[in-house]
C-alpha cells in the first residue's frame, strides 16, 4: 500500500473554520491515510481555566497527574471525537483512537534525567497489523496524542512523535509519506515572516539553525521526528500549511521538504 500519515497541529484545530477546511481536504485526499492530531492549545486553555498552568520544556509538556487528566479529556475525548464526527459528515469513514485502543501504541514512561517530564511516554511499539486492517477497509485511523504502557497507565505523548513512529512502523512493508501540517508556511528563519521560508532542510542545516537559535520550542521535536522518519525508511517528509497539502502530495514546492543529506 501507499500510505499517507498526516499530522495536524493544535493551532489549526483550535480555529473552527481552518479545522473544517482541513478536514474536508483530508476527506478528499487520495489514497489510504492516517490522521494524527495535537491539541495543546486547547488543553492549555482548558487546563488554565481549571487552575492547572501548563509547564513546558523545549516545546514538550511536563505532565503531572492533573495535567494528564486534562490532556486525556481534551485530546482523546473532546477533540478526537469531534474530528471523527466531522470527517463522517464529509464521507470519510474514520475511527478515533488512543494508543490503548486495540493496543495500537505502547510506550514507556520517560526516565527522569535533567528534567522529570512526569506521565510522558516514549513510543516502544506500533500495532501495524491493526492499522493495516483498518486501512484495508478504507477506515482512516485518527490518533490523539495519548498512548499507554501496557500496565494500565495512560501516557501523554508528543503528537509529532506518534506521527513519525506510525510512519516508520508502516514503512517496513509499505511506501509511506509523512506530512506535518501546522499554522506556518513551513520552516521559517523568522517565525513571523512567511517570506523567510526554508524550502529544503537537511540535518546539517538543522544543526546550524539550532546553534544559531533560529529554531526553538515546538519546531525542535517536529524536525527531530522528521529526520528520524527518513532514517527509518519513510520516503518523503514535508512541513507546511494544511491548504498546501495537495500541492505537496504532487511534489510541488509548497512548504519545506525535509532531506536526510
Percent of the chain with pLDDT over 90: 75
> Residue 39 annotated as binding?
yes
Greatest pairwise CA separation for the chain in angstroms: 48
What's the CA gap between 59 and 52, in Å, rounded? 18
What cell was used for 53?
Answer: 498552568
Phi first, then psi: give them for residue 121, nearest 5 degrees: -110, 140
Contact present, 257 and 237 (Cβ < 8 Å): yes
Residue 118 annotated as lining a ligand binding site: no
Q: Is 61 annotated as a binding residue?
A: yes
Q: 124: number of CA atoms within 13 Å, CB side?
A: 14
Cell readout for 137 is 477497509
What CATH number does the domain containing 250 carry? 3.40.1160.10
Domain count, the chain: 1
* pLDDT of amino acid 261: 58
The low-confidence residues of the chain, meaning pLDDT below 70, are: 260-261
Q: Is 40 known to sit in a ligand binding site?
A: yes
Contact 37, 80 (CB under 8 A): yes
Q: Which residue segment(s) compose the domain that 243 sits in?
A: 2-258
170 Cβ partners below 8 Å, 6+ apart?
3, 5, 34, 126, 128, 131, 132, 176
Whole-angstrom Cα distance, residue 77 to residue 55? Answer: 22
Percent helix, strand and coil across the chain, each to the nearest 5: 40, 25, 35
Q: Are 182 and 113 in contact (CB under 8 A)?
A: no
pTM for the structure as a whole: 0.93
- Between the two ends of the chain, the Cα-to-Cα distance in Å is 26
Amino acid at each position: 500500500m501507499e500510505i499517507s500519515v498526516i499530522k495536524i497541529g493544535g493551532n489549526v484545530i483550535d480555529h473552527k473554520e481552518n479545522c473544517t477546511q482541513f478536514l474536508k481536504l483530508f476527506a478528499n485526499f487520495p489514497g489510504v491515510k492516517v490522521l494524527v492530531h495535537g491539541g495543546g492549545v486547547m488543553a492549555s486553555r482548558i487546563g488554565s481555566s481549571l487552575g492547572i498552568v501548563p509547564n513546558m520544556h523545549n516545546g514538550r509538556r511536563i505532565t503531572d497527574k492533573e495535567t494528564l487528566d486534562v490532556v486525556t479529556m481534551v485530546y482523546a475525548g473532546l477533540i478526537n471525537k469531534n474530528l471523527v464526527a466531522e470527517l463522517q459528515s464529509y464521507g470519510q469513514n474514520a475511527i478515533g483512537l488512543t494508543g490503548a485502543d486495540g493496543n495500537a501504541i505502547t510506550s514507556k514512561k520517560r526516565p527522569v534525567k535533567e528534567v522529570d517530564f512526569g506521565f510522558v511516554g516514549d513510543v516502544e511499539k506500533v500495532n501495524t497489523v491493526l492499522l493495516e486492517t483498518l486501512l484495508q477497509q478504507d477506515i482512516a485511523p485518527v490518533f490523539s496524542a495519548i498512548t499507554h504502557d501496557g500496565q494500565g497507565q495512560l501516557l501523554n505523548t508528543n503528537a509529532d512523535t506518534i506521527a513519525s513512529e506510525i510512519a516508520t512502523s508502516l514503512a517496513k512493508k509499505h511506501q509511506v509519506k509523512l506530512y506535518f501540517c501546522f499554522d506556518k508556511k513551513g520552516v521559517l528563519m523568522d517565525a513571523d515572516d512567511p517570506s523567510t521560508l526554508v524550502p529544503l532542510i537537511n540535518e546539517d542545516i538543522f544543526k546550524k539553525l539550532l546553534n544559531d537559535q533560529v529554531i526553538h520550542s515546538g519546531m525542535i521535536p517536529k524536525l527531530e521526528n522528521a529526520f528520524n522518519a527518513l532514517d527509518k525508511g519513510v520516503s518523503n517528509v514535508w512541513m507546511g500549511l494544511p491548504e498546501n497539502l495537495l500541492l505537496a502530495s504532487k511534489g510541488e514546492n509548497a512548504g519545506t521538504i525535509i532531506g536526510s543529506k
